[in-house]
Amino acid sequence: MSKKKRQGRRRAEPKAAKPAKIEFVARPFAGLPGEEDLVAMTQILPAATATVRLREEHGGGRVHLVTLLPELVQGMRRADGEVLVALQTTMHSGDASRDAAAALLETLALQETGVVRQVRPEPGPRLQDILDLEAQPEVSVREALDYWVDDAAAADEATASAIERSKEELPPTRPVPGVEHAYWCRLNGKEFVRWVRGEDEDEFFNAFARVHAARESDLEEGARFIGAFRACGLAIPVWELVPGTEAEELTRPLQAMGQRLEAALAQDGPLDAAARRAKAGIISRQVNL
Protein backbone atom coordinates (compact mmCIF):
# COMPACT_ATOMS: atom_id res chain seq x y z
CA MET A 1 0.00 0.00 0.00
CA SER A 2 1.35 3.44 -0.92
CA LYS A 3 2.13 6.07 1.70
CA LYS A 4 -0.69 8.25 0.43
CA LYS A 5 -3.23 5.43 0.73
CA ARG A 6 -2.03 4.55 4.23
CA GLN A 7 -2.44 8.16 5.32
CA GLY A 8 -5.92 8.25 3.83
CA ARG A 9 -6.84 5.04 5.63
CA ARG A 10 -5.62 6.43 8.95
CA ARG A 11 -7.72 9.55 8.42
CA ALA A 12 -10.77 7.42 7.68
CA GLU A 13 -10.45 5.32 10.83
CA PRO A 14 -12.56 6.76 13.66
CA LYS A 15 -10.66 7.82 16.74
CA ALA A 16 -11.45 6.03 19.96
CA ALA A 17 -13.56 8.18 22.23
CA LYS A 18 -11.77 9.47 25.28
CA PRO A 19 -13.30 8.34 28.55
CA ALA A 20 -15.38 11.05 30.19
CA LYS A 21 -13.52 12.87 32.93
CA ILE A 22 -14.60 12.49 36.55
CA GLU A 23 -14.50 15.78 38.39
CA PHE A 24 -12.31 15.95 41.49
CA VAL A 25 -14.25 15.81 44.77
CA ALA A 26 -12.32 17.10 47.77
CA ARG A 27 -14.69 15.54 50.31
CA PRO A 28 -15.91 12.39 48.51
CA PHE A 29 -17.74 10.70 51.40
CA ALA A 30 -19.70 13.77 52.53
CA GLY A 31 -23.33 12.92 53.18
CA LEU A 32 -22.65 9.26 53.95
CA PRO A 33 -23.27 8.01 57.49
CA GLY A 34 -19.96 7.15 59.08
CA GLU A 35 -18.00 9.50 56.80
CA GLU A 36 -15.14 9.77 59.31
CA ASP A 37 -14.75 6.00 59.57
CA LEU A 38 -14.73 5.60 55.79
CA VAL A 39 -11.96 8.19 55.62
CA ALA A 40 -10.07 6.29 58.31
CA MET A 41 -10.48 3.05 56.34
CA THR A 42 -9.21 4.75 53.20
CA GLN A 43 -6.20 6.39 54.84
CA ILE A 44 -5.05 5.03 58.20
CA LEU A 45 -6.58 1.68 59.17
CA PRO A 46 -4.71 -1.44 58.01
CA ALA A 47 -7.61 -3.87 58.43
CA ALA A 48 -11.25 -2.95 58.94
CA THR A 49 -14.71 -3.58 57.51
CA ALA A 50 -17.86 -1.46 57.30
CA THR A 51 -21.07 -3.38 56.70
CA VAL A 52 -23.48 -1.16 54.77
CA ARG A 53 -26.91 -1.63 53.23
CA LEU A 54 -27.88 -1.08 49.60
CA ARG A 55 -30.88 0.93 48.47
CA GLU A 56 -33.89 -1.14 47.49
CA GLU A 57 -33.35 -0.45 43.78
CA HIS A 58 -29.96 -2.14 44.12
CA GLY A 59 -31.30 -5.16 45.96
CA GLY A 60 -31.49 -3.83 49.50
CA GLY A 61 -28.93 -6.37 50.76
CA ARG A 62 -25.84 -5.82 52.83
CA VAL A 63 -22.31 -5.54 51.45
CA HIS A 64 -18.96 -4.88 53.05
CA LEU A 65 -16.65 -1.96 52.39
CA VAL A 66 -13.17 -3.03 53.52
CA THR A 67 -9.71 -1.55 53.77
CA LEU A 68 -7.94 -3.74 51.23
CA LEU A 69 -8.21 -7.06 49.40
CA PRO A 70 -5.69 -9.63 48.11
CA GLU A 71 -3.42 -8.35 45.31
CA LEU A 72 -5.12 -4.95 45.65
CA VAL A 73 -8.18 -6.09 43.72
CA GLN A 74 -11.12 -3.71 43.93
CA GLY A 75 -13.91 -6.17 44.62
CA MET A 76 -14.55 -9.76 45.63
CA ARG A 77 -17.49 -12.11 45.89
CA ARG A 78 -16.55 -14.73 48.46
CA ALA A 79 -17.52 -18.39 48.26
CA ASP A 80 -20.35 -17.73 50.74
CA GLY A 81 -21.77 -15.02 48.47
CA GLU A 82 -20.68 -12.03 50.56
CA VAL A 83 -19.63 -8.98 48.54
CA LEU A 84 -16.49 -7.05 49.58
CA VAL A 85 -15.25 -3.80 48.03
CA ALA A 86 -11.86 -2.28 48.91
CA LEU A 87 -11.32 1.39 49.72
CA GLN A 88 -7.52 1.12 49.54
CA THR A 89 -6.72 0.43 45.89
CA THR A 90 -4.50 1.68 43.08
CA MET A 91 -7.48 3.19 41.22
CA HIS A 92 -7.87 6.91 41.93
CA SER A 93 -10.06 8.93 39.59
CA GLY A 94 -10.36 12.01 41.78
CA ASP A 95 -13.63 10.90 43.39
CA ALA A 96 -13.13 8.05 45.86
CA SER A 97 -16.88 7.62 46.25
CA ARG A 98 -17.39 7.09 42.52
CA ASP A 99 -14.42 4.68 42.41
CA ALA A 100 -15.90 2.53 45.19
CA ALA A 101 -19.39 2.67 43.66
CA ALA A 102 -18.13 1.53 40.25
CA ALA A 103 -16.27 -1.39 41.84
CA LEU A 104 -19.32 -2.26 43.94
CA LEU A 105 -21.64 -2.42 40.94
CA GLU A 106 -19.15 -4.59 39.03
CA THR A 107 -18.79 -6.94 42.01
CA LEU A 108 -22.56 -7.20 42.50
CA ALA A 109 -22.79 -8.28 38.85
CA LEU A 110 -20.56 -11.31 39.48
CA GLN A 111 -22.70 -14.43 39.29
CA GLU A 112 -20.28 -16.62 41.22
CA THR A 113 -17.13 -16.48 43.33
CA GLY A 114 -14.59 -14.13 41.77
CA VAL A 115 -12.81 -10.78 41.90
CA VAL A 116 -12.94 -7.44 40.12
CA ARG A 117 -9.34 -6.46 39.45
CA GLN A 118 -9.59 -2.93 38.13
CA VAL A 119 -12.46 -0.72 37.11
CA ARG A 120 -11.74 2.56 35.36
CA PRO A 121 -14.92 4.46 36.14
CA GLU A 122 -16.61 7.11 34.08
CA PRO A 123 -19.07 9.58 35.58
CA GLY A 124 -21.93 7.67 37.17
CA PRO A 125 -23.54 6.78 40.49
CA ARG A 126 -21.59 7.32 43.68
CA LEU A 127 -21.87 5.54 47.01
CA GLN A 128 -24.35 8.24 48.03
CA ASP A 129 -26.63 7.02 45.21
CA ILE A 130 -26.27 3.30 45.92
CA LEU A 131 -26.26 2.96 49.70
CA ASP A 132 -29.15 3.33 52.12
CA LEU A 133 -28.30 6.59 53.86
CA GLU A 134 -30.58 5.76 56.80
CA ALA A 135 -28.51 2.69 57.76
CA GLN A 136 -25.52 3.38 59.97
CA PRO A 137 -22.51 1.28 58.89
CA GLU A 138 -21.29 -1.41 61.25
CA VAL A 139 -17.55 -0.74 61.49
CA SER A 140 -15.17 -3.40 62.76
CA VAL A 141 -11.43 -2.78 63.19
CA ARG A 142 -9.64 -6.10 62.71
CA GLU A 143 -6.37 -7.51 64.01
CA ALA A 144 -5.84 -9.60 60.86
CA LEU A 145 -7.05 -9.92 57.28
CA ASP A 146 -9.51 -12.62 58.32
CA TYR A 147 -12.41 -10.99 56.46
CA TRP A 148 -10.89 -12.11 53.16
CA VAL A 149 -12.26 -15.64 53.66
CA ASP A 150 -15.50 -17.18 54.90
CA ASP A 151 -15.76 -19.45 57.94
CA ALA A 152 -15.36 -22.63 55.92
CA ALA A 153 -12.14 -21.45 54.28
CA ALA A 154 -10.80 -20.11 57.58
CA ALA A 155 -10.95 -23.63 59.01
CA ASP A 156 -8.31 -24.76 56.52
CA GLU A 157 -4.95 -25.08 58.26
CA ALA A 158 -2.93 -23.25 55.60
CA THR A 159 -5.46 -20.41 55.47
CA ALA A 160 -5.53 -20.14 59.24
CA SER A 161 -1.73 -19.89 59.27
CA ALA A 162 -1.81 -17.14 56.64
CA ILE A 163 -4.35 -15.18 58.68
CA GLU A 164 -2.18 -15.49 61.76
CA ARG A 165 0.84 -14.21 59.80
CA SER A 166 -1.14 -11.21 58.65
CA LYS A 167 -1.89 -10.44 62.30
CA GLU A 168 1.83 -10.36 63.03
CA GLU A 169 2.58 -8.14 60.02
CA LEU A 170 -0.10 -5.49 60.56
CA PRO A 171 0.64 -2.62 62.95
CA PRO A 172 -1.60 -3.00 66.03
CA THR A 173 -4.52 -0.57 65.69
CA ARG A 174 -7.58 -0.14 67.92
CA PRO A 175 -10.40 2.36 68.34
CA VAL A 176 -10.29 4.47 71.48
CA PRO A 177 -13.25 3.49 73.70
CA GLY A 178 -15.82 6.25 74.12
CA VAL A 179 -14.31 8.55 71.49
CA GLU A 180 -15.71 8.26 67.98
CA HIS A 181 -13.30 8.06 65.05
CA ALA A 182 -10.14 8.09 67.19
CA TYR A 183 -7.65 5.27 66.58
CA TRP A 184 -4.66 4.22 68.66
CA CYS A 185 -1.78 2.48 66.89
CA ARG A 186 1.71 1.20 67.57
CA LEU A 187 4.25 1.92 64.84
CA ASN A 188 7.99 1.21 65.00
CA GLY A 189 7.87 0.71 68.74
CA LYS A 190 6.03 3.99 69.44
CA GLU A 191 2.37 4.66 70.23
CA PHE A 192 0.23 7.28 68.49
CA VAL A 193 -3.39 8.31 68.30
CA ARG A 194 -5.00 9.70 65.15
CA TRP A 195 -8.41 11.37 65.34
CA VAL A 196 -10.50 11.83 62.19
CA ARG A 197 -12.46 15.02 62.69
CA GLY A 198 -15.78 15.65 60.97
CA GLU A 199 -15.65 19.44 60.72
CA ASP A 200 -14.79 21.35 57.60
CA GLU A 201 -10.98 21.43 57.34
CA ASP A 202 -10.67 25.19 57.73
CA GLU A 203 -13.04 25.22 60.70
CA PHE A 204 -10.99 22.55 62.42
CA PHE A 205 -7.61 24.17 61.77
CA ASN A 206 -8.90 27.55 63.01
CA ALA A 207 -10.24 25.97 66.20
CA PHE A 208 -7.15 23.86 66.79
CA ALA A 209 -4.94 26.91 66.20
CA ARG A 210 -6.73 28.62 69.10
CA VAL A 211 -6.16 25.56 71.28
CA HIS A 212 -2.51 25.34 70.23
CA ALA A 213 -1.91 29.05 70.83
CA ALA A 214 -3.26 28.59 74.36
CA ARG A 215 -0.68 25.80 74.86
CA GLU A 216 -3.45 23.24 75.34
CA SER A 217 -2.85 21.03 72.28
CA ASP A 218 -1.05 18.20 74.09
CA LEU A 219 -3.31 15.42 75.36
CA GLU A 220 -1.56 15.10 78.70
CA GLU A 221 1.92 15.39 80.12
CA GLY A 222 4.27 13.58 77.75
CA ALA A 223 1.60 13.04 75.06
CA ARG A 224 2.47 15.72 72.54
CA PHE A 225 0.73 16.96 69.44
CA ILE A 226 3.08 16.32 66.50
CA GLY A 227 1.00 17.56 63.56
CA ALA A 228 -2.01 16.91 61.39
CA PHE A 229 -2.81 15.92 57.83
CA ARG A 230 -5.72 16.27 55.44
CA ALA A 231 -7.50 13.26 53.96
CA CYS A 232 -10.66 13.16 51.81
CA GLY A 233 -11.55 16.67 52.93
CA LEU A 234 -11.19 16.03 56.66
CA ALA A 235 -8.43 16.87 59.13
CA ILE A 236 -6.63 14.19 61.16
CA PRO A 237 -4.56 15.46 64.11
CA VAL A 238 -1.87 13.12 65.46
CA TRP A 239 -0.38 12.82 68.93
CA GLU A 240 2.68 10.82 69.98
CA LEU A 241 1.91 9.13 73.28
CA VAL A 242 3.81 8.32 76.42
CA PRO A 243 5.65 5.03 75.71
CA GLY A 244 3.49 2.04 76.53
CA THR A 245 0.16 3.90 76.45
CA GLU A 246 -2.78 1.68 75.45
CA ALA A 247 -5.99 2.69 73.69
CA GLU A 248 -8.10 2.33 76.85
CA GLU A 249 -6.01 5.00 78.61
CA LEU A 250 -6.87 7.66 76.04
CA THR A 251 -10.61 8.00 76.65
CA ARG A 252 -10.47 10.78 79.25
CA PRO A 253 -7.62 12.80 77.67
CA LEU A 254 -9.32 12.76 74.26
CA GLN A 255 -12.71 13.64 75.73
CA ALA A 256 -11.08 16.62 77.45
CA MET A 257 -9.44 17.61 74.17
CA GLY A 258 -12.84 17.34 72.51
CA GLN A 259 -14.27 19.81 75.03
CA ARG A 260 -11.46 22.28 74.33
CA LEU A 261 -12.05 21.93 70.60
CA GLU A 262 -15.81 22.44 70.96
CA ALA A 263 -15.19 25.64 72.90
CA ALA A 264 -12.77 26.85 70.24
CA LEU A 265 -15.16 25.94 67.42
CA ALA A 266 -17.85 28.06 69.09
CA GLN A 267 -15.70 31.18 68.94
CA ASP A 268 -16.56 33.71 66.26
CA GLY A 269 -14.37 36.29 64.65
CA PRO A 270 -10.93 36.21 63.07
CA LEU A 271 -7.92 34.55 64.64
CA ASP A 272 -5.66 36.74 66.74
CA ALA A 273 -1.96 37.05 65.95
CA ALA A 274 -0.92 34.16 68.20
CA ALA A 275 -3.52 31.82 66.69
CA ARG A 276 -2.57 32.84 63.15
CA ARG A 277 1.06 31.95 63.88
CA ALA A 278 -0.07 28.67 65.44
CA LYS A 279 -2.19 27.80 62.40
CA ALA A 280 0.67 28.55 60.00
CA GLY A 281 2.94 26.30 62.03
CA ILE A 282 0.40 23.46 62.15
CA ILE A 283 -0.26 23.56 58.41
CA SER A 284 3.44 23.82 57.54
CA ARG A 285 4.28 20.64 59.46
CA GLN A 286 1.69 18.26 58.14
CA VAL A 287 2.63 14.72 59.00
CA ASN A 288 2.30 11.50 57.03
CA LEU A 289 1.51 8.85 59.61
Which residue type does 178 have? G
Same domain, 179 and 252: yes
Close Cβ partners of 97 (under 8 Å, ≥ 6 residues apart): 25, 28, 29, 32, 126, 127, 128
Same domain, 182 and 143: no
Q: How far apart (Å, rounded) are the C-alpha atoms in residues 113 and 107?
A: 10
Same domain, 132 and 51: yes
Same domain, 119 and 220: no
Close Cβ partners of 213 (under 8 Å, ≥ 6 residues apart): 272, 274, 275, 277, 278
Last residue of a domain, one of 124, 139, 169: 169
Same domain, 103 and 158: yes
At 33 the pLDDT is 97
Q: How far apart (Å, rounded) are the C-alpha atoms in residues 45 and 48?
A: 7
Last residue of a domain, one of 146, 169, 192: 169
Residue 25 lies in a domain: no
Residue 207 lies in a domain: yes
Q: Residue range 95-101: average pLDDT? A: 97
At 284 the pLDDT is 83
Q: How far apart (Å, rounded) are the C-alpha atoms in residues 163 and 143?
A: 10
Q: Which domain holds residue 227?
A: 173-284
> Which tens digits make up the pLDDT trace of 225-263?
999 999 999 999 999 999 999 999 999 999 999 999 999
Same domain, 230 and 129: no
At 218 the pLDDT is 96
At 266 the pLDDT is 96
Tell me, what CATH number does 230's domain have?
3.90.1150
Query: How much of the chain is in helix, strand and coil states, percent to nearest 5?
Result: 35, 20, 45
Range in 13-17, 74-78, 166-170, 224-228 the model is least confident about:
13-17
Q: How far apart (Å, rounded) are the C-alpha atoms in residues 208 and 140?
A: 29
Percent of the chain residues topping a pLDDT of 70 = 93
Residue 2 lies in a domain: no
Q: Residue range 99-117: average pLDDT? A: 96
**Overall number of domains in the chain:** 2
Residue 24 lies in a domain: no
At 288 the pLDDT is 75
Same domain, 159 and 179: no
Same domain, 276 and 202: yes
Residue 249 lies in a domain: yes
Which is nearest to 127 in space by CA: 95, 81, 153? Answer: 95
**What is the three-class DSSP state of 283?**
helix
105-127: b (≥16 Cβ within 10 Å) or e: bbbbeeeeeebbeebebeeebbb
Same domain, 246 and 126: no
pTM: 0.90
Give 155's pLDDT tier (boundaries 50, 70, 90): confident
Residue 10 lies in a domain: no
Percent of the chain residues topping a pLDDT of 90 = 84
Residue 225 lies in a domain: yes
Residue 208 lies in a domain: yes
Give 5's pLDDT tier (boundaries 50, 70, 90): low
Last residue of a domain, one of 143, 169, 195: 169
Same domain, 99 and 204: no
Same domain, 184 and 60: no
Q: How far apart (Å, rounded) are the C-alpha atoms in residues 228 and 12?
A: 55
> Which tens digits make up the pLDDT trace of 168-212?
999 999 999 999 999 999 999 999 999 999 999 999 999 999 999
- For the cut 70, the answer to whether the pLDDT of residue 124 exceeds it is yes
Same domain, 156 and 116: yes
- For the cut 80, the answer to whether the pLDDT of residue 2 exceeds it is no
